[in-house]
Amino acid sequence: MENFFARYKNPLVLMAVLFIQVVALATQVKRSENSKAASSGGTRLIRVWTVTAFTPIEKMFVSTGHFFSNSWHNYADLRGVRQQNRQLQDEVARLQMEQVRLKQDADQARRLQALMDFKEKFVSKTVAAQVIGTSGTEQSKVITIDKGKRDGLKPDMAVITPNGIVGKIKEVYPLSSQVLLVNDHESGAGVILESSRLQGILKGTSLGELQISDVMSDEKVEAGEHVITSGGDRIFPKGLSVGTVSNAVADRDNDPFLVIKIKPAADLNRLEEVLVITETAEAQRAASSASPVRAADILSQRLPSIPKQDANAPKIPGATATPTPAGPAAGSDKTKKPAVPDAGQKKAVSDAGQKKEGAGTTAAVKTPSAEAGGVKAPVPAGKTAAGGSVNSASPKTGADTKKPTSLGTAQPAAAGAGESPTPTPTSKPKATPPKKPKAPAKTPDASPGSTDNTNAGQQETVPAPGATPAATPSANQEKPPR
Amino acid sequence: MNAGVSLTSREEIEVHRFSWPASIGIPLLAVFLQVFLRIGLLNFLDLPLLVTIFFAVARRRPVPGMITGALIGTLQDAWTGHPIGLFGIAKTIVGYLGSSIGVKLDVDNPGSRFLMTFAFVLIHKFIYMVIDLQLVGGSEAWNWGHTLFSALANGLAAVVLFAVLDRLKQRN
């Protein structure tokens, strides 16, 4: 060491002298730009030099530390990243596939929802089917669906979509069917223009277009008019959407007629799901109308009515349709004669009688029709003084129901004869004698014989004495017939 | 001294001594004249530098040469208002180099004195500019014409001045 200083004495002394002077220089000089910012007169140059001298060293240490730290975190500590990346890629692929599947499901759900809404609206029974094939040629417009004979499909069944008609079943196989589209040149359907009510036959062309022919050229057809099915072809139910009129021009080949081009409502080139109408709403109604329910029947069921006597009730010889207690009061003006306004009510009475079988109270009020039948003989005398036509008084109960009677003229025509009507044998069993004493109270002059001529002259038809007192207005009241 | 690398004879590398008044008075006079004497020609001459070169080369010892340069430079800085060390560092290095070169070259020849001074002026100017620009933060621009003319003038002045100052040498 001593040799070192002796050998390099001059350079060392030079460095020492220079260092001292540099330090002295640094202690005096201040950064002019820093002096503006620093209130204390700026940063000493020695501080700047020191910081400047040590900053590279500090940077070197920091950079070295960062290098090792980054090397660890970015390389050495990434052991599971590759596997995790593979898992994430698999997850992404799976989610993408699931997203596609969900989208398809959602689209299909929307289409099926539309189909269901449409089904509830128009048709009674349908079979949903998917299009699984086409004819493959431009000449024939035929598609294949995945439902066949096993699903109840039959030829000539209508095939529709929520937008409009599609075609009809052409061929039916056990598991599939062929559908002839409406735009096929062999297809046809009865249609009607919705606003102008013009009817025509919808046919397909060889170009796959829809047109209506056989419409007179003097008819006014406007583009955009909606076309619906007319139901006349017995294939498509009435009212289904067919399309809109695109244009209407004169038929060159058939001069006095028009050729109306139709834009189909259903996209016949992009069919995916269709509905096959296996049963229309009209057919269902026709089937249910075998036993129609009339409004009068419903009304009679809800209003107080005369229960019909039980047909199976045992026949009692002494029992008459006209309760005996009614006789004394027959001549009273206060008698209220029941009236049977129409046959419907009469039927209701019959129905009611079946429901209230065995009721003792029915004896006095029962079987007005039977009474009417029983008074067939006195009917001629029952012609009213006013000269009103007297009902034919057919023995059949339905005879007097064909003509409605005035509610205000409830006097039986036979009453004027003063004869005791002879009830038909069939009416006897309907009367239930056990409750006879009460019956007159309810129907004082239920018997036709109890009526007087005055009242009899007001009636127009043979009354139905079986009507309840409440339902029979006063004999003196005269109301215009309704 | 290492005579093997020296280009001078034994007589030429003889170390000269100066009296104390001369060693102190000449530098002070040179700085005084440089600072306080307002002569246009002195703008190109650097008398303290010439004195530094003379004493360093005459003494042929680096340490006394660099200390002489440090002192003259510090005194010049103090009197001229420059930061202490600006001229001091430059003249310290020039003194060190002059004393080092004085051992190996014949510095008594006028031609070598001119060239040596010419070179030292450039070195001194270069060191001064580096310190002024890089350390002090000055903005003085380097002017080659002024620098070369100054070097030339100082070289010529050194030939004359050194001949005068040779009379102050004390032989061993």
CATH number reported for the structural domain that contains residue A225 in this entry: 2.40.10.340
Q: Please give the Cα distance from A343 to A400 (Å, whole number).
A: 8
Q: For chain A, what is the domain count?
A: 3
- The answer for B81, left when phi > 0, alpha when psi is -120 to 50, beta otherwise, is left
Listed residue (A412, A410, A441) closest to A326, CA to CA = A441
Q: Is residue A254 part of a domain?
A: yes
Check if the beta carbon of residue B85 is closer than 8 Å to that of residue B124.
no
Q: Are residues A321 and A345 located together in one domain of the fold?
A: yes
User: Nearest Cα to B142, choosing from B161, B123, B126?
Assistant: B126
CA distance A296 to A346: 10
Q: Rounded CA gap, B93 and A13, in Å?
A: 11
Same domain (yes/no): A127, A163? yes
| Number of Cβ atoms within 10 Å of the Cβ of B98 | 30
In a domain, B134, yes or no: yes
Kindly determine whether residue A22 and residue B137, on different chains, have CB atoms separated by under 8 Å. Answer: no
Residue A184 lies in a domain: yes
- Domain contains A482: no
Q: A154-176 burial string, b = 16+ CB within 10 Å, else e?
A: eeebbbbbbebbbbbbbebeeeb
Q: What sections of A234-356 are H helices per DSSP?
A: 281-288, 295-302, 343-355
Same domain, yes or no, for A171 and A234?
Answer: yes
Q: Chain B residues with CB inside 8 Å of A16's CB?
A: none
3-class secondary structure, B37: coil
Domain that holds residue A450: 297-458
Give one DSSP letter per residue of A250-315, joined into a string.
E-SSSTTEEEEEEEESS-TTS--EEEEEEE-HHHHHHHHTTS---HHHHHHHHS--PPPPPTTSPP
Largest CA distance in chain A: 175
The DSSP bridge partners found for residue B169 are B18
Query: How does pLDDT run across A41-59, given as a tens digit for each residue?
Result: 555 666 666 667 777 877 8
For chain A, positions 37-66, list CB contacts with chain B under 8 A.
Answer: 45, 49
Q: Is residue A465 part of a domain?
A: no
Q: Among A452, A299, A294, A448, which Cα is nearest to A369's?
A: A448
Identify whether residues A61 and A166 lie together within a single domain.
Answer: no
And the tokens for A388? 């009103």
Instruction: Give Cβ neighbours of residue A253 (< 8 Å, ≥ 6 apart).
Output: none
The Cα B169–Cα A369 span in angstroms is 175
How close, in Å, is residue A13 to chain B by CA atoms? 7
Close Cβ partners of A316 (under 8 Å, ≥ 6 residues apart): A428, A429, A431, A432, A433
pLDDT at A402 over 70: no
- Mean pLDDT for all residues in chain A: 66
Number of structural domains (chain B) is 1
Facing A21 at nearest CB: one of B62, B85, B136: B85
Tell me the shortest Cα–Cα distance from B83 to chain A, in angstroms: 6
> Are residues A328 and A275 part of one domain?
no
Chain B hits for A21, Cβ within 8 Å: 70, 74, 84-85, 88-89, 92
In a domain, A84, yes or no: no
Written as six digits, the tokens of B116 are: 């040596």
CA B159 to chain centroid, in Å, comes to 13
Answer yes or no: is A380 within a domain.
Answer: yes
Of A267 and A213, more confident? A267
**Domain final residue, candidates A244, A259, A284:** A284
Please check whether residues A193 and A264 belong to one and the same domain. Answer: yes
**If you count DSSP H runs as helices and E runs as strands, how many of each does chain A have, helices first?**
12, 12
Give domain status of residue A137, yes or no: yes
Size of interface A-B (CB pairs under 8 A): 56
Residue A250: strand pairing partners:
A258
Q: Collapsing DSSP states into helix, strand and coil, what is residue A176?
A: coil
User: Which residues sit opposite A131 in a β-bridge?
Assistant: A145
pLDDT given at position A300: 59
> Using the 8-state DSSP alphabet, how is residue A28 labeled?
H
| A86's tokens | 């593979």
A31/A157 same-domain check:
no
Each residue's pLDDT tens digit, B111-127: 889 999 999 999 999 99
* ipTM confidence score: 0.81
Is the model's pLDDT at A368 over the cut of 90? Answer: no
Has residue B3 been placed in a domain? no
Residue B120 lies in a domain: yes
* pLDDT of amino acid A199: 87
Q: pLDDT tens digits, residue range A411-464?
A: 443 333 334 444 444 444 444 444 444 444 444 343 443 334 434 334 443 333
Residue A430 resides in a domain: yes
Between chains, do A18 and B89 touch, taking CB under 8 Å as contact? yes
**pLDDT band of A320, cuts 50, 70, 90:** very low
- Domain of B166 in residue numbering reads as 15-170
Instruction: Looking at the structure, tell me whether residues A143 and A219 fall in a common domain.
Output: yes
Of A9, A29, A31, the CB nearest to B83: A29
Reference A279, options A138, A143, A127; nearest CA is A127
Nearest one of A150, A149, A170, A179 to A275, comparing CA atoms: A179
Q: Which residues of A touch B67 (CB under 8 A)?
A: 17
Please write the tens of the pLDDT for every residue from A65-115.
888 888 887 777 777 888 889 999 999 999 999 999 999 899 888 888 777
| Chain B residues whose C-beta sits inside 8 Å of any chain A C-beta | 62-63, 66-67, 70, 74, 83-86, 88-89, 92-93, 96, 100, 131, 135-137
Residues A307 and A442 in one domain: yes
Tell me, what's the pLDDT at A136?
66
φ, ψ of residue B101 to 5 degrees: the values are -75, -30
Quick one: tokens of A196?
């102008």
Q: What is the pLDDT of residues A157-178, one digit of tens each?
A: 999 988 899 999 988 988 889 9
Whether A304 and A270 share a structural domain:
no
Strand (E) or helix (H) holding B45:
none
Q: Which CATH number does the domain housing residue B106 bear?
A: 1.10.1760
Q: Are residues A429 and A315 in the same domain?
A: yes
Identify whether residues A306 and A221 lie together within a single domain: no
Two tokens, residue B118: 């010419």
